[in-house]
Amino acid sequence: MTFEQRVQDRTAVIGVVGLGYVGIPIALGFSAAGFQVLGLDIDADRVAGLNAGKSLMRHVPDEQITAMLARGFEATTDPARIAEADALIICVPTPLDSHREPDLSFVTGTMDALAPHLRTGQLLSLESTTWPGTTEEVLRPYIERAGLTMGEDFYLVYSPEREDPGNPDYTTNTIPKIVGGTTPACLAAGLALYGTAVEQVVPVSSTAAAEMVKLLENIHRSVNIGLVNEMKVVAERMDLDIFEVIDAAATKPFGFTAYYPGPGIGGHCIPIDPFYLTWKAREYGLHTRFIELAGEVNAAMPDYVIDRLFRALNTRGKAIKGAKVLALGIAYKRNVEDMRESPAVLVMERLRDLGADLSYSDPHVPRFPRMRKHRFEMTSTPVTPETLAAQDAVILLTDHDDFDYAMIGQHAPLIIDTRGKFRDGGDTVVRA
């Protein structure tokens, strides 16, 4: 029986490698489409939690994990079991190293673990964001060293993830899926696989083209966010409300897309992915000035927020050192618990280093999580009139819907607003 036939009759087993913000929605999607799904992760606690029906993410309720388990889902830490799967979907992190260069150690570590268990008839799909050429240059040699022939007895594709955690308007099966194959047969197998779980599958000519698509999507956002962040700084000097300006510009029915400024950029894509292309472009003797400039503007925003706080406290005869400062919202975007690359963390670190008496409140992050680069031993502080009144300043960093903005505006003595939620706050509000 061919791979496509096993997919069409739902006898194919889907292996998802990396059970995080990307892997879990993919697993749920294929499970709902009628497949048995096997999950693999190196985190034993995560695996145990999933097998017990516990979700790792607030926007994915436990009931969805329980239902997936009832349909045959199982999570494991044993890479040898991946031989049971017909399709292997890799959803592991691709961060930057300390020199802001691509770190593929999670991908290569995964392939090192999987390589001894690859077999005839499988399809391997990489969903992690990376530079154009990675699938061919890094993954293909693993398969060939295993004695497998591309497009004949093994299929290799690249299909970039497009997850937007916490967005209720789009799900894994409704977001169009880009697929590029190493050979025409690989592409056909990839289209057959994803076509069973996603409403629209978009083929491209190669894995490198698919890799570039993902980078273009995120660079587009990074550049436009950098633009509005720079516009915010200019508008503040002119005593203009940048959010009023953007909202008015957004009434134009063509030629304008609204992007909104903030304290920086966060998440697993926008702060990282553009630098994968700048790194690869150097191989071709190119300097991607536009991309790097946007990165510089966005990276400077946490310091801009601190400067606005410094000036606001100074006019009140107060230094940052010793000032009681409450950070409101520390996730990278509203209404999620995702802390990856959150600019709020950078603001908090700068405040800590300057000697502020720092606390935070985030209904989605009850305890500051363990992170690779950042460490705080803190728990979320309840937002009450008494808590607010006791602060010297409150910084709104992530505009969760759960916050009572009217109450905050009434009781906080000073608000540094990075999200445009306090448009008529009078003398107690500083836009940042």
Measured in degrees and rounded to the nearest 5, phi and psi for residue 418 equal: -95, 0
Determine the pLDDT at residue 30: 97
* pLDDT tens figures, 312-329: 999 999 999 999 999 999
Contact status, residue 80 vs residue 42, Cβ threshold 8 Å: no
- Read off the pLDDT of each residue in 74-102 and give the average, rounded to a whole number: 93
The dihedral formed by the CA atoms of 370, 373, 375 and 380, expressed in degrees to the nearest 10:
-60
Edge to edge, what strands does the sheet with 324-328 contain?
A: 357-361, 324-328, 393-396, 415-417, 429-431
| Distance of alpha carbon 354 from alpha carbon 348, whole angstroms | 10
391 against 275, higher pLDDT: 391
- The most confident of 89-103, 158-172, 290-304, 418-432, by mean pLDDT: 290-304
| Distance of alpha carbon 408 from alpha carbon 258, whole angstroms | 27
Determine the pLDDT at residue 424: 79
For the chain, give the percent of residues with pLDDT over 90: 87
Determine the pLDDT at residue 423: 85
* pLDDT tens figures, 28-58: 999 999 999 999 999 999 999 999 999 988 8
Determine the pLDDT at residue 373: 75
* Short-list 118, 103, 109, CA closest to 149: 118
Set 65, 186, 197, 269: catalytic member = 269
Determine the pLDDT at residue 149: 96
Measured in degrees and rounded to the nearest 5, phi and psi for residue 89 equal: -110, 115
Determine the pLDDT at residue 352: 95
Annotation says 186 is catalytic: no
| Distance of alpha carbon 236 from alpha carbon 71, whole angstroms | 55
Contact status, residue 339 vs residue 380, Cβ threshold 8 Å: no
Determine the pLDDT at residue 98: 78
* pLDDT tens figures, 239-273: 999 999 999 999 999 999 999 999 999 887 888 88
Output DSSP code: residue 102: B
Helix pair 289-299, 301-315: axis angle to 10 deg: 30
Determine the pLDDT at residue 270: 85
Determine the pLDDT at residue 209: 98
Measured CA to CA in angstroms, residue 191 lies from 49, 61, 118, 146 at distances of 32, 29, 21, 24
- Read off the pLDDT of each residue in 68-83 and give the average, rounded to a whole number: 97
Q: Residue 404: pLDDT above 90?
A: yes
Determine the pLDDT at residue 18: 97
Contact status, residue 362 vs residue 331, Cβ threshold 8 Å: yes
What predicted TM-score, i.e. pTM, was given to this entire model? 0.92
- Dihedral sign for Cα 340, 344, 348, 354, please: positive
pLDDT band at 294 (very low <50, low <70, confident <90, very high): very high
Determine the pLDDT at residue 174: 93
Q: Residue 207: pLDDT above 80?
A: yes
Determine the pLDDT at residue 59: 82
Determine the pLDDT at residue 96: 86
* pLDDT tens figures, 157-183: 999 999 887 778 888 899 999 999 999
Identify the residue whose tokens are 């300057």: 354
Output DSSP code: residue 369: P
* Short-list 159, 126, 120, 99, CA closest to 16: 126
Measured CA to CA in angstroms, residue 145 lies from 44, 56, 249 at distances of 29, 36, 55
Q: What is the 3-state secondary structure (H, E, C) of 1-39?
A: CCHHHHHHCCCCEEEEECCCCCHHHHHHHHHHCCCEEEE
Q: Which two tokens stand for residue 251?
A: 């009434």
pLDDT band at 1 (very low <50, low <70, confident <90, very high): confident
The three-point CA angle 333-334-339 to 5° equals: 45
Residue 177 parent element (H or E): strand 177-181
Determine the pLDDT at residue 242: 96
Burial of residue 401 (CB within 10 Å: 0-12, 13-18, 19+) is exposed
| Distance of alpha carbon 324 from alpha carbon 367, whole angstroms | 19
- Read off the pLDDT of each residue in 281-297 and give the average, rounded to a whole number: 93
- Read off the pLDDT of each residue in 174-201 and give the average, rounded to a whole number: 97
* pLDDT tens figures, 376-385: 889 999 999 9
| Distance of alpha carbon 310 from alpha carbon 134, whole angstroms | 45
Determine the pLDDT at residue 277: 93
Contact status, residue 207 vs residue 140, Cβ threshold 8 Å: no
Output DSSP code: residue 139: I
* pLDDT tens figures, 349-364: 999 999 999 999 999 9
Q: Which domains does the chain carry? A: 3-205 (3.40.50.720), 300-431 (3.40.50.720)
